[in-house]
Amino acid sequence: MFAGSPRSFYSMTKHLKQAERLRKIIESFPKVTVTVLGDLVADEFVYGEISRVSREAPVLILKHRERTVLPGGGANAVNNLADLGVNVLPVGAIGDDEPGRLLLKFFRHKRIPVSGVLKDKSYTTVTKTRILAGMTHNTRQQVVRVDREPENPPNRHLTRELFLAAREYLRASDALLVSDYGYGSASPAIVNALRQSGRRRVVNVPLILDSRYRLLEYAGATAATPNEPEVEAALGVRVGQDWEKLAEAGHQVMERMKLQSLLITRGRDGMVAFDQKQAPVDIPIFGSDQVADVTGAGDTVIAAFSAALAAGATTEEAAQLANYAGGIVVMKRGTATVSREELLRAIQQSPPSTRLH
């Protein structure tokens, strides 16, 4: 017989039901199709072993050990969706260069369709090169990052092709994920044109947005997943640890963008989910707050959030799954992904939780 209080029994039963519901959502991911319109980035990692200090300048000389190139930015969101078992359709621009070819090779290896990945000789694949250094058997630390970016956004012809590819994919999609890093493949103009294209199927598809610099410029988004500094920058406010200010900022973004859902990520302070029909839900971080690497964590969060919404989850359910995914991925080094199996294990280990205010 249960020896605890009725309240404890009710709470345990509620958590078990929530966990079972989340498991069913995850298991339905293979039935979901998501189009990703995004800035496709190549994340390059160059690893070196500290050899000595240079005589030419007070800098370390590294003995090159290895190099890896992984999908970053919008391409990382694509990769995360694929590893969650979702059918993902990427749309974005790359250059006719080695990083672009490596991204295509990576997608093909995972059987991700690439007809919407448009290669253009006038464009440069966005490449972020991280140099990591360390001694033998020690953890390597990032010492510098070098970014290679296109001098200009995609030209008018390429922009038109991106729009057409996204519109075609959306006919067979359950959601549109927009990953805007400011390089032009996922601009407000393209997204707004998609929403106004007159096709009922396109208009009714949920649009989940991640925009680093122009959050408030998008019309017709269903949901957004900014981090707290992005919200502060968009509204010109300072939140800090003030719950009332955070709640007010979230409601402002919801109202100005006419969103149905909003997920604000807060690093080690977890996430807050906003929904039109209920009070904000404060979700503590899953796992340890001693993170290994936050590279690409936002891409993982929006991938899990979008997959869940596309599968019919509520805002809170999608936020809980995004929180699990974010907590798992920041414990991995480099640009990483989370699998369906890892999500299921996390839910089994720790039922979903919230903080009261």
Range 210-236 average pLDDT: 93
In a domain, 70, yes or no: yes
Return the pLDDT at 202.
56
Residue 278 lies in a domain: yes
pLDDT at 114 over 50: yes
The sign of the dihedral angle between the CA atoms of 284, 287, 292, 297 is: negative
Q: What is the reported pLDDT for 334? A: 78
CATH label of the domain that carries residue 257: 3.40.1190.20
Q: Whole domain around residue 112: which residue ranges?
A: 30-51+60-349
Alpha-carbon dihedral angle through residues 237, 242, 247, 252, given to the nearest 10 degrees: -10
pLDDT of residue 196: 82
pLDDT(206) > 60? yes
Which one of the listed residues 120, 210, 282, 299 is annotated catalytic? 299
Mean pLDDT within 246-259: 96
According to DSSP, residue 355 is labeled B
Mean pLDDT lowest among 41-50, 62-71, 135-144, 345-354: 135-144
User: Per the domain annotation, does 20 fall within a domain?
Assistant: no
| 12 within a domain of the structure (yes/no) | no
Please check whether residue 181 lies inside any domain of the structure. Answer: yes
User: Which residues, 6 or more positions from 10, have their beta carbon under 8 angstroms from its beta carbon?
Assistant: none
Candidates 166, 198, 196; CA nearest to 179 is 166
**Three-state DSSP state, 247:** helix
Which amino acid is it at 234? A
pLDDT tens digits for range 18-52? 889 999 999 999 999 999 999 999 999 999 998 99
Domain count, the chain: 1
Contacts of residue 205, Cβ cutoff 8 Å, sequence gap at least 6 = 170, 173, 174, 175, 176
In a domain, 126, yes or no: yes
- Both tokens of 153, joined, read 């956004």
User: Which residues touch 125 (CB under 8 Å, ≥6 apart)?
Assistant: 40, 41, 42, 94, 95, 97, 99, 100, 103, 148
| Domain annotation covers residue 114 | yes
- Report how far residue 49's alpha carbon sits from residue 51's, in angstroms, rounded to the nearest whole number: 6
Quick one: what percent of the chain has pLDDT higher than 70?
Answer: 93
In a domain, 137, yes or no: yes
Provide the pLDDT for residue 60: 86
Nearest-angstrom CA–CA distance, 301 and 343? 12
Comparing 274 with 334, which gets the higher pLDDT? 274
pLDDT at residue 145, as a whole number = 96
Q: Is residue 299 flagged as an active site residue?
A: yes
Q: Is the pTM of this model over 0.85?
A: yes
